[in-house]
Structure 1
Amino acid sequence: MLDGILYQLKNGCNWEDLPKDLPPYSTVYWHYKQWRTSGATETLMQTLHEQGFPSSPIAPKRVFQTMVSCLKCWL
């Protein structure tokens, strides 16, 4: 799910154009919309900002772990 959301945000493509190896676009979009409505994305951005991202380099694994911990209650 998270891969699909990140792919769309990074590439700016239509949700319908997500690669076929990701979950169906309607499912990915539904979760993104739920997270955004519930404030999960704001919590994620605030947490990353508090950790110094993006002004200081953070290992990609740590960013991913932060994202998962912020979003896991909405999965």
Structure 2
Amino acid sequence: MEYPSDLTDSQWERIRKFFEGKNRGKHLCKHRKRELMNGVLHVVKTGCQWRQLPHDFPPYTTVWNFYRRACIKGLWDKILAELVKTSRVAAGRGEMPSYALVDSQSVKTTGAADERGIDGGKKQKGESGTS
């Protein structure tokens, strides 16, 4: 069965090189890397729990272990960096961004948390007197 979260052929061709030659020893993998990727993408896209991964995918433990090993090896960061680079070049821009933006709203809210809070003993917000 195909899911909306599955990789298209062209998407898989862009990232396939990151998974070539990544098999353990001489053992053949029971599941193809594309199937494992589709399982990870299904969890990410739908927000389902690993144990609720549909049975059309490899076993959830296999998909989760694939995801975890890729995290440890930094594979997701490498794939995303490559995709950013190729999409920027396709848009006629340089491979690497020349600057970054910080969300100023996030910066503003961090200081406000220090000034105001809930004092469990007073059951009032931010007042220094007794109740």
Please tell me the TM-score bracket, short chain as reference: 0.5 to 0.7
SS in 1 for 2:87: coil
Higher relative contact order (CA 8 A, sep 6+): 1
State the TM-score, normalized to the length of structure 1.
0.68
**Unaligned regions of 5+ residues in structure 1, if any?**
57-75
**2:12 alignment counterpart:** none
Q: Which of 44, 51, 63 in structure 2 is aligned with 1:16?
A: 51
Q: Distance in 1 between matches of 2:48 and 2:65?
A: 16
Q: Which of 58, 77, 81 in structure 2 is aligned with 1:42?
A: 77
Question: Which aligned pairs between 1:1-75 and structure 2 lie closer than 5 A?
Answer: 1-52=36-87
Q: Give the residue type in structure 2 aligned to 1:9.
A: V
Q: By how many angstroms is 1:2 displaced? A: 1.0
1:30-65 Cα shifts (integer Å, max 9, x gaps): 000000110000000000000127xx6xxxxxxxxx
Structure 1 runs (4+) greater than 6 angstroms displaced: none
The structure in which a higher percent of residues are helix is 1
SS in 2 for 1:52: helix
State the TM-score, normalized to the length of structure 2.
0.39
Aligned residues: 54
